[in-house]
Amino acid sequence: MEKLQHTYDEWEAEVEEALEVDGEYSRRYGNAIYLFSVAQRQLEVAQAAMKRREDDEKRTAKEIVDDLMRR
């Protein structure tokens, strides 16, 4: 998770730097925006997975089995 946050912060800095380039749309700007959106999505997925793991740890074995049987 820390690694994802670090990467996300790096890409966020890249986006900010690209925005400072004469205010023009450029390939670098487009790439930075794309990378930023990918990093943001990866961070969201990792956070959701951690939340599910925490929620699973709170559930009893019976609740987990019941949930799996419904799927």
Query: Could you state, in order of their start, the residue ranges of all structural domains in the chain?
Result: 2-70
Place of tokens 């949930």: 67
pTM: 0.49
pLDDT of residue 23: 59
Close Cβ partners of 4 (under 8 Å, ≥ 6 residues apart): 39, 42, 43, 46
Contact 15, 37 (CB under 8 A): no
- Please give the chain's pLDDT, 71 residues, in tens: 666 666 777 777 777 776 666 556 666 677 777 888 888 888 899 999 999 888 888 888 888 888 889 88
Contact 56, 64 (CB under 8 A): yes
